[in-house]
Structure 1
């Protein structure tokens, strides 16, 4: 038993390290090819590689996903903008908490109806407000793009949950984890800018207005949720087929069929 626990801890350490290196390296390569940051305010990067720690969080548990994401974002931040304090305060915390939540929720059985009602209320309440802020402070094109991405991702999440019920928990987990992470990024980066100068390598800035926090929040969520929803399930399906033991959601064992009375008995 002790040997099994030690082996499991060793696997988690290795998985966290692999996750961190993959997350940081892939993110850095994507940014090198497409150095896109938040329109109007910069800083937060276009980051499709979020699917990597999400997959690790489901396969190996929330701590592995969270720690791997924290390691990866710190490595990529150091390579791209070189501000360790900003990375530790905004990037590391948001990534660890966000992917930890994805790992926790996706590995549980979620009440689909209640979760759908709650997310629908939050979505319908937040969308007009965020859309108005984008329209006033960014542009009409950005508003259409971001609102369209949010709406399309939400509809896709519902469709996937309806057609493939086994991915319902993952869909809710992705929205919840990324939502919390996006909130942390938006408001922590804004608070950081009130005290320190933001890194010039990704746009710079000092004492940015409060609406910048909401723009970062919307940008982070709207540009990353499609990759979690679209790429996560097929990647995880392949992993489950290759390594069934890593599937955290076990199908209930079927009870053996009862033999009819009088049959199969030696009388």
Structure 2
């Protein structure tokens, strides 16, 4: 379904673009229907840049991003519009996605204006309520409310419901639970697991190794824009082959050990 082949992305820096920053270098990965692929790396490793290229928000300088064999960076106009009916992204901070001046369900109205203008109002309301039930939200609890009246978990699930209204096939989930409390994180992860079982492919972008292991089928470890390790999640986490992965795993706090106890 989704394929990245030797993808690289560089940015020009400085007043006259005299310096060059390589954000992503020769990255290859795939995401199949009904599969969750975790893209794990520290800040600045290129995770979000990869997500932006998958969503068509940035173009690679080298390599190809393809969806069903069609190159994403070449899509324009109606073709790009059609692509976004199948591929959507949900990002880290749900509060920044919503305009505090408008009610939160305006995100659904924007989807209707962009993709379903011919759908009657009553039918659209039913679609919205069905999508909300699909992310375990009661319409009466969130519709006609302003963003400040809702929790971060509710807002994040509303954004996932917005994506589901388009009947998408791939979701780019970029740090979508890093700003949520622990109990809400599990709710959102379990929701992604349910969507995966219905055939949705998910590119799960995170810096948190523990969260990356929870639902992912395969894991890709990034360091400074390059893939240092990739494979089935269980293999990557139980028998890592790269020193960087081993160091990351060693740095994860353990609940059974205090910080001042020596590592055995």
Q: Which of 1 and 2 has higher RCO (CA within 8 Å, sep 6+)?
A: 2
- Normalised by the length of structure 2, the TM-score is 0.33
- Normalised by the length of structure 1, the TM-score is 0.32
Structure possessing the higher radius of gyration over alpha carbons? 1
Higher helix share: 1
